[in-house]
Amino acid sequence: MTQDIVILAAGKGSRMKSAFSKVLHKVGGSAMVRRVLTTASALPNAKLHLVVGHQGDQVEASCQDFMANVVWQNDPQGTGDALRRVAPYLQDNGATLTLYGDVPLIRASTLEKMTALSTPNTLVLLTISLDNPTGYGRIVRDEQNKVVAIVEQKDATDSQLAIKEVNTGILLAPNSHLQGWLAALTNNNAQGEYYLTDVIAMAARDGVDIVTVHPENEAEVAGVNDRIQLAALERELQHQQSITLMQNGATLFDPARIDIRGELTTGQDVIIDVNCVFEGNVVLGNGVEIGPNCHLRNCLIGDNTIIKSNTMIDESEVGDACDIGPFARLRPGTVLANNAKIGNFVETKKALIGEGSKVNHLSYIGDTEMGANVNVGAGTITCNYDGVNKHLTQVADNVFIGSNTSLVAPVQVAEGATIAAGSTITKRVGEKQLAFARARQTNKDNWPRPIKK
């Protein structure tokens, strides 16, 4: 059956006290509304509709890659009003699933359970039982335990307020009936709004079967109204992701102290210490070990590589059995071949480091092509920027570069060459040559040291 999926994202979210739309606040590194759209778009035969209002231009621009039909809800008057504005775009057949841009952790598996029950004469409702149902619409059932209505908190009687089963707001209604129900909605209630929940009573009146589905946990249907709730859902998502990592064979020294803001894929026997952050798409091979306080973003790490504490790796590719850190920074465009070593306080950028090569400490290597088995001494830098353009440094295999060397690009160092410590290299160094480039040293006798005043 074809699916219209409506994501409601028009609310102001004043309790967020923010300069931008509530649904653009992030959970797990992704805007809440984008999380919902991603989940929704995975359903088969999905036609997406995005309802925007407050700062709708921001929301539309951030979600344009989903190719959703954007419908504006200026001066919003409730969830029923939102669906009424989408009604002209709904398909004649099929059903409409209503989701919310500030309910980011809804699972595709739950929505699939709902769609599996959908028929032209069935309305599927997602409900949950809560110990404290305050603030939620109550599910009213008859003597045969059939759902007959949803009553909002402000309109409920004392007996209805005692009901524990509540409405999550997520429902799947057949379009053949939904159009008529939406047209019949009124705003005769305490809020003066058009409630989408009123279609439940209409469905019961019209003999439409009303069936309920329940989520796996409360967090799936939890909405965000303020930053406290946003933080709670962030921790819930991180907990869920930590459980998945450990089930897949990773060791987390403290599952509560890891943040995944994107997608993290791990091989077997991966070890991750505390306070590590993973952004974008990160892939860790088998046997990778990551020390505390590391930050990895959009990178691929090969098997058996060790990343020591306080290291940042960004938009880079690391081979097998490499040794990185501590306090190293691999900037975008860095590629390390197998068995390469990047030591403490080393920064690389757009650098190809060959197999077995070592940049052990206190160095900057940028815009560089480096061969295999190169040894780079402490304090070495590539001077790749002339103030306007970047230039390339090329270092062949088996080169030894002494400490405190400056390689002024563009420059080439041929295979087997040696560069003496303290040199500033501005010209090509040939194969197996020894390059000295130092100012002449002058020694003065009986030099009087400065005296502290």
Has residue 453 got a pLDDT over 90?
Answer: no
Q: Where are the domains of the chain?
A: 3-221, 227-435
Asked if 139 contacts 150 with a C-beta cutoff of 8 angstroms, the reply is yes
pLDDT of residue 347: 98
Average of per-residue pLDDT across 304-324 = 98
| Distance from C-alpha of 129 to C-alpha of 264, rounded to nearest angstrom | 33
pLDDT of residue 189: 82
Nearest to 426 by CA among 372, 382, 378: 382
Average of per-residue pLDDT across 248-271 = 97
Average of per-residue pLDDT across 269-290 = 98
Has residue 349 got a pLDDT over 90?
Answer: yes
Query: Binding-site residues for Mg(2+), please?
Result: 102, 225
- For the entire predicted model, the pTM comes to 0.91
Under the banding of pLDDT at 50, 70 and 90, the label for residue 75 is: confident
For 37, 72, 86, 90, 123, the CA distances from 182, given in Å and listed in that order, are 23, 17, 10, 12, 14
pLDDT of residue 1: 63
Residues 219-228 pLDDT 10s: 999 999 999 9
Least confident range from 1-5, 57-61, 106-110, 258-262: namely 1-5
CATH fold of the domain at 3-221:
Spore Coat Polysaccharide Biosynthesis Protein SpsA; Chain A (3.90.550)
Average of per-residue pLDDT across 426-431 = 96
Average of per-residue pLDDT across 336-353 = 98
| Distance from C-alpha of 174 to C-alpha of 360, rounded to nearest angstrom | 65
Under the banding of pLDDT at 50, 70 and 90, the label for residue 440 is: confident
**Cα–chain center distance at 340:** 29
Amino acid, single-letter form, for residue 44: P
Has residue 439 got a pLDDT over 90?
Answer: no
Under the banding of pLDDT at 50, 70 and 90, the label for residue 444 is: confident
pLDDT over 90 percentage in the chain: 90
Could you tell me the two tokens for 361?
Answer: 């400490």
Average of per-residue pLDDT across 266-276 = 98
**Domain at 227-435: CATH architecture:** 3 Solenoid (2.160)
pLDDT of residue 76: 84
Residues 130-139 pLDDT 10s: 999 998 999 9
Has residue 430 got a pLDDT over 70?
Answer: yes
pLDDT of residue 374: 98
Under the banding of pLDDT at 50, 70 and 90, the label for residue 372 is: very high
Among residues 25, 54, 177, 361, the one annotated as catalytic is 361
| Distance from C-alpha of 165 to C-alpha of 150, rounded to nearest angstrom | 10
- Whether 25 is catalytic is no
pLDDT of residue 431: 97
pLDDT of residue 268: 96
Asked if 218 contacts 128 with a C-beta cutoff of 8 angstroms, the reply is yes
| Average confidence score pLDDT of the chain | 95
Q: List all residues 6 or more positions away from 75 whose beta carbon is below 8 Å from its beta carbon.
A: none
Q: Is 210 exposed, middle or buried (0-12, 13-18, 19+ CB in 10 A)?
A: buried
Query: Binding-site residues, please?
Result: 8-11, 22, 73, 78-79, 100-102, 137, 152, 167, 225, 331, 349, 364, 375, 378, 384-385, 403, 421, 438
